[in-house]
Amino acid sequence: MNGRRFESRNSRIEFQGKEIVLLRPITFMNMSGKSIKDCADFFGIKTEDILIIHDDLDLQVGRIKLVRQGGAGGHRGVLSIIEHLGSIKFPRIKIGIGRPRFEETTEDYVLSPFYKDEKDTIERVTHVAVLACKLFISEGVESAMNLINCQNLENKEVLS
């Protein structure tokens, strides 16, 4: 299935013998929970098996953090997911985007491209985020957390 069901761009793949659904809601961010809930219900996916990847203003650029569960922390997209799933018990990969440097509003900042001097760091973060997803699938959330959460990619410490 490659398509636009569940108000999303989505695809089903197989990874290490497991069927995986990749989903990117095409709704406004603060309504993304409905897309995720509809998909999870359709495929019978348990909440704790849903891995959410999102930006985090409170983590500096170059930081990536995998967490087992938690509140929204002011993130409207995560709040929507919590409201629709009726639970905070889903793992997340938080990708640090830091705070605005040049007096732009937070809304403008999160919707703008990264600053030019952050491009290399973001490329490394993307690589590690993919690794985190693979570890989550193959070894579980605890193992993935142990390997990923020590990374500071701004300082070029990268797992291979």
Compute the mean pLDDT over every residue in the chain, rounded to the nearest whole number. Answer: 90
CA 127 to chain centre: 13
Find the radius of gyration of the CA atoms of the chain: 16
Is this prediction's pTM over 0.75?
yes
C-alpha dihedral (138, 142, 143, 145), degrees to nearest 10: 110
19 Cβ contact partners less than 8 Å away, ≥ 6 residues apart: 12, 13
How do residues 138-152 score in pLDDT, each as one tens digit?
A: 999 999 999 888 776
3-state secondary structure of 36: helix
Res 23: pLDDT: 95
Region of 14 on the Ramachandran plot (φ > 0 left; ψ -120 to 50 alpha; else beta) = beta
What is the mean predicted confidence (pLDDT) over 152-160? 57
Q: Per-domain residue ranges for the chain?
A: 2-155
How do residues 3-50 score in pLDDT, each as one tens digit?
A: 678 999 999 999 999 999 999 999 888 899 999 999 999 999 999 999
Q: Which CATH number fits domain 2-155: 1.10.10.10, 3.30.465.10, 3.20.20.80, 3.40.50.1470?
A: 3.40.50.1470
